[in-house]
Homo-oligomer: A and B are copies of this chain.
Amino acid sequence: MFSSIRAYIQTCTQLSEDEFLFFERRLKHKKIPKKTFLLQQGEVCNFEGFIIKGCIKTYFIDNNGFEVILTFATENWWVSDMMSFSEQKPSKMFIGTLEDTELLLLTLPEKEAALQKIPALERMFRLMLQRHVASYQERIFAGIALSAEQRYDLFLQKYPHLPLRIPQHLIASYLGISPEFLSRLRKRKLYKNTLSSPKSSIS
């Protein structure tokens, strides 16, 4: 149950067996069915969650009532509204499951207790924040400098497994384009690929 988060922590920092155990005891294991909210607009986010299995979206609702996807999160990602969580302020976002999902949840008091006892964890959480920052920066750049097709290519390259798990219209929302246009993009690419790499056909 904790194997994946142990592996994750070890990519960030070194912990003793006692420290691992102490941290793991702060976590609450939870299974959540598909299409369930973990957080809704206006609520205070009371968790940081490490995903063991499953898939989650975080998003805003725009003035026309449409979802604007901020992130997709799958295995070995942390998910939360970190601003709402650490400042205990009402959130503007929604967090919901796209699949049956298994999580390790950390509350704010438990997190603070863990950081108190295990300062080395500061590094893990800082790296987590930095990864988010890096991915947001890349996204802003892409949104300004790249065409819809280039953004889609980048998405496929960075998250090759996601299109198999996530409905297309949500990917369109993530990319900032309409579902119809993503459909046309895909059609165009299919045509290009069958022209440029005929060998890949199974026949």
Residues of A whose CB lies within 8 Å of any CB of B are 60, 62-63, 66, 68, 70, 82-83, 86-87, 119, 122, 126, 129-130, 132-134, 136-137, 139-141, 143-146, 173, 176
Are A83 and B133 closer than 8 Å at their CB atoms? Answer: yes
Are A82 and B145 closer than 8 Å at their CB atoms? Answer: no
Which B residues touch A136, using CB under 8 A? 133, 136-137, 140
Which 10 pairs show the lowest CB-CB distances between chains A and B? A62-B145, A136-B136, A144-B176, A143-B143, A68-B144, A68-B145, A83-B134, A129-B129, A60-B141, A139-B140
Q: A122-B122, A136-B136 are in contact. Are A82 and B130 (CB under 8 A)?
A: yes
Task: A46 to B103: give the CA distance in the assembly, Å.
Answer: 38
Are A60 and B143 closer than 8 Å at their CB atoms? Answer: no
Are B140 and A129 closer than 8 Å at their CB atoms? Answer: no
Are B83 and A141 closer than 8 Å at their CB atoms? Answer: no
